[in-house]
Structure 1
Amino acid sequence: MLELGELLVQEKAIVFRGFNVTPETHGSAADALLPQRLAYVHGNSPRTKVGQNVYTSTEYPPELVISMHNEMSYAHAWPGRLLFYCEHAPTTGGATPIVDGELWLESLDPEVRAAFGGGVRYIQNLHDGYGLGKSWQDTFETGDPSDVEAFLTGTGADWKWRDDGTLWISQLRPATTRHPVTGIEVWFNQADQFHPAGLGDDATALTEVLSSDEIPQSVTFADGSPIPAEYITHIQETGLRLAVDVDWRAGDLLLIDNTLVAHGRRPFTGPRRVLVAMSV
């Protein structure tokens, strides 16, 4: 019989249904499936910490689609596994779509794949407690700048503090990666979630009134040249088109390999509450 790790690599995602996991038993289930839970340090999504390295899965408005992505693929290190838990199922919608990263990569237009061959440069402007987007305090779960500097040292990122307390970070990362066990190459970046074309009309309008030093996050090709909006649209639409929806029932768990599989969120109505934990 396969060990859980071997099964997850083989299947890429596993749904645990019918185990009647409750808020009271979720912690022990997470301990069993994720023995080394990680803090969401340097995470860019708005979340609330609700337990021992357990977070709300996202706090974006329910009417929005969250495009396919691998958690923290913009960072120097990322979680190997994600465990989602449905505490309250939505009234309608709210599925977590997942997509095979190898299939996503193979399905992209060759022109787009070639254009991303040099990698992606992510830019973040993290304010000092008041402004657009997340603060550096929320992003790094600390109020001590020296903790942030210690974290960033050795990550390959360029960073500096501005006079107004904003933390500017620039990171050059590859657009694809290979799974540490199988060696399979997958599409693995969040260019579309850092690009205004992937965030809707409001984000696009924001770039017309704010400078690059004021926008919370942005992205370019490795050489600093702009990424065409049509590339971003193609990437997003391809990932969502290929995705398989995991519909939620209260008590469900979903364990995914965060390298082999990307995930997102469908719009919903009702009191959806899905929590997430991460591990190496």
Structure 2
Amino acid sequence: MNDDAGDALWAPAEITPAATGAEASTRGLVEYLGSVPDLGALLTAEKALVFRGFRVDPAGLNEALNLLLPRRLAYVHGNSPRTKVGANVYTSTEYPAEYAISMHNEMSYAHQWPARLLFFCETAPQSGGATPVIDGVHWLACLDAEVREAFRSGVRYTQNLHGGLGLGKSWQSTFETEDREQVETFLNDSGATWQWLQDGGLRISQVRPAVIRHPVTGDEVWFNQADQWHPAALGDDTSAALAAIMPAEELPQSVSFADGSPIPDAYAVQVRDRGLANAVDVDWCAGDLLLIDNVLVGHGRRPFTGPRRVLVAMSD
């Protein structure tokens, strides 16, 4: 690890009924949130907040969400598999339980990303299943200087979205519409380049930053999903299997440096491994919530056993 990373790990601030004098219930949390003079300032200062022990129930979740995420966003142009379960409320990424999900900032590949994410644990897993979080300043610092410098010019993300049958997500699911004109308007506004394919699919390419500064604090943070879009970070066997099926440019998603040059496998693996190694786990009990600043903090998922249902919502 780079010496610049430092020794102390940041962790989210934990807010409990005992610490706030609130009732251990959904109503108690709602009343506490109503008493906070500036939740946005508190979140920026702490980077992430865990509301633990309030035993929030699914029926009352919407009332808490209205205070925590006053302008909930749809998951339009989102690349991970989810199920919409309410008014801009989704399941967390649906990915096999035995695998970790590497650290990332939600939709950092898009031209607009959510400022806040909120996770709600409806069903806690039997074991494992924590949501690891990492301070983006620390993540950037713990990478080798060579890797940090290589990413300074940004990255190019490429998506191949099928038209209803194929590997990965469809464009209809990704954009939550069947209307091609609506998709074209969205993409034109985003600055992406795109083309409809003869098989009914859609190819999208967009150059985005790899490192950005937080709009309030000015902190420089690692902010991209290059490792998740890179075949090498999927593991040797998976990478080899995909390479045998189709060329990189035809994969559901792929990534290069902004100028189109390839990102070395070792860089993608270093980003993935150091992110996970330097993260702090937020373990779940049913009824807990986790609110994060999506620019200052990356998140992921640890493997788990037993049923696990964590919902997610986001806002600007």
- Of residues 168, 180, 183 in structure 1, which corresponds to 2:215? 180
Q: Secondary structure at the match of 2:138?
A: helix
The reply to whether residue 41 of structure 1 matches residue 76 of structure 2 is yes
Match of 1:192, as an amino acid? Answer: D
Match of 1:107, as an amino acid? Answer: C
- Of residues 156, 160, 174 in structure 2, which corresponds to 1:121? 156
- Of residues 241, 262, 271 in structure 2, which corresponds to 1:226? 262
* Residue 204 (structure 1) shift: 3.6
Larger Rg: 2
Q: Matches of 2:56 and 2:286 in 1, distance apart?
A: 8
Q: What TM-score, normalized to structure 2?
A: 0.87
Aligned position for 1:261: 297
Match of 1:206, as an amino acid? Answer: L
List per-residue Cα deviations over 1:200-232 (Å, max 9, x = no partner).
222442123202343100000111111111101
- Of residues 265, 271, 274 in structure 2, which corresponds to 1:238? 274
Aligned position for 1:278: 314
Coordinate RMSD, CA, aligned? 1.0
* Residue 154 (structure 1) shift: 2.1
* Residue 35 (structure 1) shift: 0.5
Match of 2:296, as an amino acid? Answer: L
Match of 1:267, as an amino acid? Answer: P
Q: Which runs of 5+ in 1 are unaligned?
A: none
1 or 2, which has the higher helix percentage?
Answer: 2
Aligned position for 1:71: 106
Q: Secondary structure at the match of 1:146?
A: helix
Q: Which runs of 5+ in 2 are unaligned?
A: 1-35
* Residue 178 (structure 1) shift: 0.8
- Note closer, same or farther for the CA distance 1:2–1:28 as it changes in structure 2 (3 Å cut): closer
Give aligned pairs, total.
280
Q: Matches of 2:240 and 2:175 in 1, distance apart?
A: 27
- Of residues 122, 139, 143 in structure 1, which corresponds to 2:178? 143
Q: Matches of 1:212 and 1:68 in 2, distance apart?
A: 23
Match of 2:258, as an amino acid? Answer: A
* Residue 2 (structure 1) shift: 5.6
Q: Matches of 1:62 and 1:6 in 2, distance apart?
A: 35
Q: Matches of 2:56 and 2:98 in 1, distance apart?
A: 27
The reply to whether residue 171 of structure 1 matches residue 200 of structure 2 is no
Q: What TM-score, normalized to structure 1?
A: 0.98
Q: Secondary structure at the match of 1:24?
A: helix
* Residue 19 (structure 1) shift: 1.3
Aligned position for 2:230: 195
